[in-house]
Structure 1
């Protein structure tokens, strides 16, 4: 497994708590959170609930990133921007094709498969355990100001100067050879 730390070169940020009824921190995704291209996979985004965000939080963004993907740049599975500060939970399946479970004003940006939705885990068979950093970013702006067709990497770049805190849950996935 790679030791890539996606936050190693980013500014420090306060921590707060994210939990999930779908997956526990450090545990494996269930079949529903695997890609539909994997037997049994359904591309269902996880339930997320967060608390303890820093004072001054005006919105949130949620990202799901696999730094262990064999790409040289990891793989972005999901990115949601402009979640209102009054929202502290997303239901399982919120990241479907229409974002039906997202609050008003929030939107999904295209992931690395270039679809604006959650795409599940699909590590190459025999590649070992992959980590999926599920992160809720507390931001100091109501809107991050990126277009809906932006990339998760550009969303991250734009957020860098606005992050007050991060809540991180790490899920895992592995497909045997």
Structure 2
């Protein structure tokens, strides 16, 4: 079975729903982290990391919107709002700082005029936890996850002026 990531809120290539769009910076969304589900993790998986990254942000290095580390291996989903303070993060899971400067989910908020890709990734790891804190950078969490990666699955949605679902 292939390792896959899905959401009941949207499909791969679709436009991000307003519920998942940032509330601020000119955006009028609800800033709710989406419900996510994954299956087919490889044998030996001891934990997961879930991230949301915008490779099209005009920063030279993209923009990290969400990083959740230390998700136990027996967890295969996150409910809507889990990263938005609504509850539902599994015991032991840890959100690290995003490029908004604080831990937690930060939805789409691109500058006007451009469509951006928002890439949700779940990564299966060979360790039960990463040595990160809530103040760790997304780059550090990504670096550590890369070195313990067994497999990853992605789901990409679009948001911005002119974004259209397939």
Task: Name the TM tier (shorter chain).
Answer: over 0.9
Q: Please, what TM-score do these two structures have when normalized by structure 1? A: 0.87
**Could you say what secondary structure the match of 1:55 adopts?**
coil
Tell me if 1:41 matches 2:29: yes
Using the alignment, how far apart are the partners of 2:116 and 2:68 within structure 1? 21
After TM superposition, give the deviation of residue 22 of structure 1 in Å. Answer: 1.2
Under a length normalisation based on structure 2, what TM-score does the superposition of the two structures give?
Answer: 0.92
In 1, Cα distance between the equivalents of 2:62 and 2:141? 15
Distance 1:160 1:138 in 2: 10
Deviation of the 1:50 alpha carbon = 0.3
CA separation in 2, counterparts of 1:100 and 1:116?
A: 14
* Higher normalized strand content (fraction of residues): 2
Task: Extract unaligned runs of 5+ from structure 1.
Answer: 1-14
- In structure 2, what is the Cα distance between the partners aligned to 1:39 and 1:107? 26
Counterparts of 1:131-150 in structure 2 under 5 Å? 131-150=117-136
- 1:23 corresponds in structure 2 to 10
List structure 1 segments (4+ residues) > 4 angstroms apart after TM superposition: none
> Which whole-Å CA distance do the structure 1 matches of 2:27 and 2:45 have between them?
40
Is 1:152 the counterpart of 2:134? The answer is: no
Matches for 1:77-156 after TM superposition, within 5 Å: 77-97=65-85, 100-126=87-113, 128-156=114-142
Map Cα deviations across residues 68-98 of structure 1 (whole Å, 9 max, x no partner): 000101000000000000000000110014x
Alpha-carbon RMSD = 1.2
Counterpart position of 2:63: 75
SS in 2 for 1:125: coil
Alignment check: 8 A CA contact 1:32 1:40 kept: no
Q: 1:39 Cα deviation (Å)?
A: 4.2
Deviations 1:52-72 (A, max 9, x none): 011100000000000000010
- Partner SS for 1:95: helix
Instruction: Quote the residue 1:175 is aligned against.
Output: 161
How much does 1:101 deviate? 1.3
Structure 2 residues without counterparts, runs of 5 or longer:
none
